[in-house]
Amino acid sequence: MSLPASSDLHEALHDALEDLRGAADNIGGEAQERLSQSTAAVINAAQALLKDAKSHAADAAKGITKEVREHPIATAAAVTAAAAAVIGLVAAAQKVKKH
């Protein structure tokens, strides 16, 4: 599950860096240095964001696992209710689509 987020973040950073490199070609030395520092700051922030998101995801997974173990019947009922809701939404969408 973390691979798509990581991959999307990597792709977004790559695109941003390519844009910044293009912009840096058209400016003077001092501005290039500041742009380079800003780029490094963006990369560090993105890495910190990804690390934080992974940590939160791991904590959430642990919490969900604990809830499932402590309340298996309630979890099964909730999953069944969610599945029924999805089936109802699909049926309603199909009905609307036919009309």
Residue 27 per-residue DSSP state: S
pLDDT at 51: 85
pLDDT tens, position by position, 16-57: 777 777 766 667 777 777 777 777 888 788 888 888 888 888
HEC secondary structure over 61-82: HHHHHHHHHHCHHHHHHHHHHH
Q: List pLDDT tens digits, range 48-95.
A: 888 888 888 888 888 888 888 999 898 888 889 999 999 989 888 887
What DSSP string runs through 29-70? HHHHHHHHHHHHHHHHHHHHHHHHHHHHHHHHHHHHHHHHHH
pLDDT of residue 2: 44
